[in-house]
Structure 1
Amino acid sequence: MALQIGAVAPDFEAETTEGKIRFHDWIGSSWALLFSHPKDFTPVCTTELGALAKLKGEFDKRGVKLIGLSVDPVDKHTKWSDDIAETQGAAPNFPMIGDTDLSVSKLYDMLPASTTGDANARTAADNATVRNVFIIGPDKKIKLVLVYPMTTGRNFQEILRVIDSLQMTAKHRVATPADWKQGEDVIIAGSVTDDEAKTIYPQGWKSPKPYIRIVPQPR
């Protein structure tokens, strides 16, 4: 069974480029973005790590910690960082997990539990399913899971948009419509009765259908 939204993110200990961590302790009271890569020195992932390094300030503003993962060892991650800096204009400025025994990849259902062997002997194609994004809340529960093919680079602007939605809807009883962006109208959650909504939104709402109740984004 794959990890599902609402499940507690599995805890683990691991070596990273910034020292050994226990994952839940490392998250603390923050949000976290765990994203994985099938192999070091791969082209699409090189562009992704550079892009994410440049956007780190945006994640910091939202209280989101970044952490990457590849099955390769930490010393190889460090060498890869030089290439990322040279070709993308920014090196990773967040920890990268070395998952040489494949334990974290298997714990997060990115590789079958039966997978064995030396990580160094594995190819990117062997690890094609290790291309995931997990957004984890301060409660240590999984809020979003995305799985990408190796040939499609991740859209981090979309991930920021999702985080904005997740953080707002965690505080307010609303949902965000298709293609929503910061500052746009939102939808009153279906769990809110009309009587409750009248108390929360005394100014009323737009309702093209009884089940669609549109209000300005809460501040």
Structure 2
Amino acid sequence: MTTPIRPQVYLGSRAPNFTADSSQGQLDFYDYIGDSWCLFFSHPGDFTPVCTTEIGAFAALHEEFKLRNCKLLGLSTNSRETHIRWIKDIHQITGFNVQFPIVCDDDRKICTTFGMIDLRNFDAQGRPQPIRSAYLIDNRKEVRLVHAYPLSTGRNTAEILRCLDSLQCFDKHDKKILTPVNWVPGDDVVVSPDLSPASARTVFPHHRCVRSYLRLTPLDPDI
């Protein structure tokens, strides 16, 4: 009896490496990421309607992710040949070239390892069907964000980009800040509760104290 593959991916865990075929040829996950961040996201299959809109939207944002040193990597359950035909169709429909690879996961090993599955959805062969999962993985190969959408719901690409900005802002400021609800770059941030009042006055001299547990500050020193 085959031992089922258990998901190995959690916030803070090291993303497991894998080697697989893709729309751009054989791919080693760690080599592909290199020293960059990576958005790794799954799809249930090629030539499916919601997935087509999503791939097109990510293709449109390719340069935005590149500016943030973040590579894009898709996953679907079909072959390289089918991926290539689908990518051409996506370009015809959306007008955007898909410059990032799409991993081939016909046997569902990668999506199962990453937990990109819904145990209520299986294909005709009884294999788990990938849902719309998305992982932001940093340049240390650490999983920093996990999104899971059901098959019926397309992703919000702007929200994923916003989350990447938040995580990179958090790292840039050495974990001294957090980002509040609906934050986008340029908005005030929250001073970390771990920062003492004295340290907060030194590091963020323009911060304001709404409550002892809620301190807000601009990041632009001229504000």
2:12 alignment counterpart: 6
1:204 positional shift? 4.3
Partner of 2:114: 108
> 1:41, 1:80 within 8 Å by CA — same for their partners in 2?
yes
CA positional deviation for 1:11: 0.8
The answer as to 2:211 corresponding to 1:205 is no
Separation of aligned partners in 2, 1:17 and 1:95: 5
Partner-residue secondary structure (3-state), 2:61: helix
| Partner of residue 175 from structure 1, selected from 170, 174, 178 | 178
- Distance change (3 Å), C-alpha of 1:103 and 1:218: farther
CA distance in 1, matches of 2:217, 2:136: 26
State the secondary structure of the residue aligned to 1:84: helix
2:63 matches 1:61? no
2: CA distance, partners of 1:6 / 1:73: 31
2:191 equivalent to 1:188: yes
Q: What residue is the counterpart of 1:142 in the other structure?
A: 143
| Cross-structure match for 2:159 | 158
Rounded to whole Å, the distance in 1 between the matches of 2:169 and 2:125 is: 41
User: In the aligned structure 2, how far is the partner of 1:22 from the partner of 1:199?
Assistant: 45
Letter aligned with residue 143 of structure 2? I
Gaps of 5+ in 2: 1-5
8 A Cα contact 2:74 2:103, kept in partner: yes
| Structure 1 outlier segments of 4+, above 3 Å | none
Give the counterpart of 1:216 among 215, 218, 221: 218
Aligned pairs, how many? 212
| Partner residue, 2:55 | 49
The aligned residue for residue 22 of structure 1 is 28
Q: Give the drift of 1:218.
A: 5.4
> How far apart are residue 91 of structure 1 and its match?
3.3
- How many percent identity over aligned positions? 38
CA distance in 2, matches of 1:212, 1:218: 19
Q: Could you tell me how far 1:60 is from its partner in structure 2?
A: 0.7
Q: 1:91 aligns with which of 93, 97, 107?
A: 97
Unmatched tracts of structure 1, length 5 or more: none
Displacement after TM superposition at 1:198 (Å)? 2.2
1:131 is matched with which residue? Answer: 132
C-alpha spacing 1:122/1:46, structure 2 compared with 1 (3 Å): farther
With the length of structure 2 as denominator, give the TM-score of the two structures: 0.88
Distance change (3 Å), C-alpha of 1:122 and 1:60: farther
Which residue identity lines up with residue 63 of structure 1 in the other structure? Answer: N
- 1:67-82 to structure 2, matched below 5 A, reads 67-82=73-88
Task: Output the CA distance in 2 between the equivalents of 1:80 and 1:112.
Answer: 24
Tell me the amino acid that sits aligned with residue 200 of structure 1.
Answer: V
Alpha-carbon distance between aligned partners in 2 of 1:131 and 1:31, rounded to the nearest angstrom: 19
Structure 2 CA distance, aligned partners of 1:50 and 1:112? Answer: 24
Deviation at 1:122, TM superposition (A): 5.4
Q: Which moved more, 1:63-72 or 1:87-96?
A: 87-96
Q: How large is the Cα RMSD of the aligned pairs?
A: 2.3
Residues 153-179 of structure 1: CA deviation (Å, up to 9, x unaligned): 111111111111100101211000000
Q: Normalised by the size of structure 1, how large is the TM-score?
A: 0.89
- Answer whether contact 2:59 2:97 (CA < 8 A) is retained: yes
For 1:111 and 1:175, the matched residues in 2 are separated by: 30
Show CA shifts across 1:78-131 (max 9, x none): 011121111111232100000122111111022489x99xx8x559x951x431
